[in-house]
Structure 1
Amino acid sequence: MRKFLLILISLIFMLTGCSFEKGYAVRDIYAMNTVISLNIPQNTKNAEELLSKAEELIYFYENSLSVTKKESEVSLFNKSKDKLELSPDAFSLISTALDVSKNTNGAYDPTCLYLTELWDITNGGYLPTDEEISSALKKTDYSLLSTEKNTLKKASSDIKIDLGGVAKGYSLQKAAELLAKDTEYGMISFGGNVGVWGKKPDGLKWEIGIKDPFDTNDVIGYFRIDGGYVSVSGDYERFFEKDGVRYHHIFDTKTGYPVDNGVHSVAVYTRDGALGDALSTALFVMGFEKSLELYESNIYDFEALFVTDNGLFMTEGAKELFTEK
């Protein structure tokens, strides 16, 4: 398993300024279709037991929130005709997802499962016909979802959800909060998300390198933060090519096609893991100008960095956090 993880561990983020092999207790696992690395100080009391608790918590959320698990709450809702009563965790997560959907006019849309399955990028990709895309779009509409108490409802039985765009960030935060109770500092990398907490022994801020989407073996620069979560969405993460055209996994639910707006990567910094996860997708779809309008509205507290065809763009606060290489 360790060898398998080392082969797969081509992560969005590269943390620098400290070694996570020396001085750290490390637990690498595979869940939610991604590699996860838990890192806490080696001298932490009962470090391995604590890491096991965090690992179990992540698996718990995977079994509850993953669309690939047949008995997850997500899958049970997708099978339902009109509604499903959810656990507090699942209800909190879908509430965040729908709030971001509403405030971004569907740039993030948890009902995009039909598009995801149609394009099948995870399994090598498929180029659908216009008719197939049109059919999928008829069943893609976050506004057909509603909540009441702890129940999620759908106006059409055809509607299905995929919380992959927020579940990783949510699970990351819950695991980080669990570990932070008994550790002075630490880090979790969770696919395209990273969470850090506490003060490092050297007194310096956490330094998180953001991959260069044009050269994924390098970084474009670093976010320096004292804690919180960074989430990245990039067109280089999962894609396929056909007839010289690259098709990636981030879809515009207005057109049914992968987003093609000159944006290649968006990194979002927040204090809320699920929110950052959803926003990184939404801002990628929206592009910098519309994202800046959302930023200036102060609906959400976040900072963001955009890597585009025309260079780097960032929010005002990100200019204080980011250092270009």
Structure 2
Amino acid sequence: MKKAATIFTLLIAGVLYAQQPFKHTLKLMGSRFDITVVANDSTEANGYIDLAVNEISRIERLISSWDANSQTSEINRNAGIHPVKVDAELFNLIQRAIGISKLTDGAFDISYASMDKIWKFDGSMTVMPTADSIRNSVAKVGFQNIVLNKENSTVFLKLIGMKIGFGAIGKGYAADSAKDVLISKGVVSGIINASGDMNTWGKQPDNKEWNIAITNPMNKNKVFALLPISNGAVVTSGNYEKYVTFNNIRYTHIIDPRSGYPATGIISVTVFAPKAELADALATSVFVMGIEAGLNRIEQLPKVACIIIDDKGNITTSKNIEIEKS
């Protein structure tokens, strides 16, 4: 009996090791997605990847503010007019977003979409906007003006011209949803990389954990650190590619929705969390809040950690993480 059990164990191990990772790169939600699944062969892997793509496309149809037929666009069209009934999934996503807004004192805010686009990070901006124009640019921003009615599943934006958008959370949510679908179909391991929003589960076929590379913000062509992650998400936000400089101050493309001014002082934030949606939102928020306030919020949350690099190259980590440079 013991011998049979041993043979059975070896057979199982052999099956697992026979599996291998298969990766496809696609453009979804206007961004690059790398979808990796561990499967027995390419036919099986392609079927799984198609399931992930279908789920990500479904999420995009639900939350896209560029699609006139989406429920998000319907909410925006009726801002200041009347509430809009939405699917429970979208209602719950908005409700969670408002929860993160409260946690971060408004540093994260899906109504940032109401902001006037007065900052340009394409090299064409030569003069800093005036204080009045910056203040006016966020006049219609404010999560407090998003009214939810759970009983009726409706969303109402109080101000005419107000908008919501999921640019700072949507890809993370799509990665989470695709991961859940694949797990439900029996995919034992994989990675969803939504333009840097990484979501992993399981381990590699040789039973080693997945290693996530953190880009060196001082040299984006080099890896700063390699960190193992087996079931969770990691998101890095950086301003080393999109920024403007006025009076020797670097202003990042990540803008504080409360003031209208771009974040300063930080060039990279990496957040580890159970869900990519949360990591995505927090990475942006820490940029806006700054190192001290950002760490304070991160360390209040279970199973969440972060690495912050300032514009002098100094590294700050939350208490529950240790890193080794590569």
The SS at the match of 2:174 is helix
Residues 128-277 of structure 1 mapped to structure 2, 5 A cutoff: 128-149=129-150, 150-181=153-184, 182-239=186-243, 247-260=251-264, 262-277=265-280
Task: Give the 3 Å change call, closer, same or farther, for CA 194–296 of structure 1 in structure 2.
Answer: closer
Higher strand share: 1
2:38 to 38, 41, 51: 41
Describe the SS at the equivalent of 2:67: coil
* Residue 178 of structure 1: how far off its partner (Å): 1.4
> Which letter maps to 1:27?
H
2:111 equivalent to 1:114: no
TM-score normalised by the chain length of structure 1: 0.84
Q: 1:48-80: per-residue Cα shift (whole Å, max 9, x none)?
A: 122112111111111211222222222211111
Give the Cα separation in 2 of the matches to 1:312 and 1:287.
13
Cα deviation, residue 241, structure 1? 6.3
Q: List structure 1 runs of 4+ shifted beyond 6 angstroms.
A: 122-126, 241-245
Aligned equivalents of 2:303 and 2:223: distance in 1? 25
- 1:284 alignment partner in structure 2: 287
CA contact (8 A) 1:82 1:156 kept: no
- What is residue 54 of structure 1 aligned with on the other side? 52
1:146-167 per-residue CA deviation (whole Å, 9 max, x = no partner) reads 2111222222223211111111
> 1:28/1:124 Cα in 2 relative to 1: closer, same or farther (>3 Å)?
farther
Give 1:32's aligned residue.
29
Provide the rounded CA distance (Å) in 2 between the counterparts of 1:161 and 1:118: 18
Secondary structure class of the residue paired with 1:203 = coil
Aligned residue number for residue 86 of structure 1:
86
* Aligned partner of residue 117 in structure 2, secondary structure: helix
Q: Is the 8 A contact 1:125 1:239 kept in 2?
A: no
Q: For structure 1, which runs of at least 5 residues remain unmatched after alignment?
A: 1-21
After superposing the two structures, state which structure 1 stretch, 222-231 or 130-139, moved more. Answer: 130-139
How far 1:215 sits from its partner (Å)?
0.6
Gaps of 5+ in 2: 1-18
Q: Deviations over 1:276-304 (max 9, x none)?
A: 11111111111221122223434x54111
How far the C-alpha of 1:134 sits from its partner, in A, is 2.2
Amino acid at match of 2:75: F
**Distance across 2 between alignment mates of 1:56 and 1:157:** 34
Count residues with an aligned counterpart.
300
Percent pairwise identity: 27
Please tell me whether the aligned partners of residues 299 and 305 of structure 2 are also in contact (alpha carbons under 8 angstroms): no
Q: 1:176 to 1:107 in 2, by over 3 A?
A: same
- Residue 168 of structure 2 aligns to a residue whose secondary structure is helix
* TM-fit CA distance, 1:209: 0.9
**Kept after mapping to 2: 8 A contact 1:73/1:86:** yes
Q: For 1:122 and 1:180, how far apart are their aligned partners in 2? A: 40
C-alpha distance in 2 between matches for 1:117 and 1:123: 15
For 1:200 and 1:105, locate their aligned partners in 2 and report how far apart those are by CA, in whole Å. 39
TM-score, structure 2 normalization: 0.84
Higher alpha-carbon Rg: 2
Secondary structure at 1:305 match in 2: strand
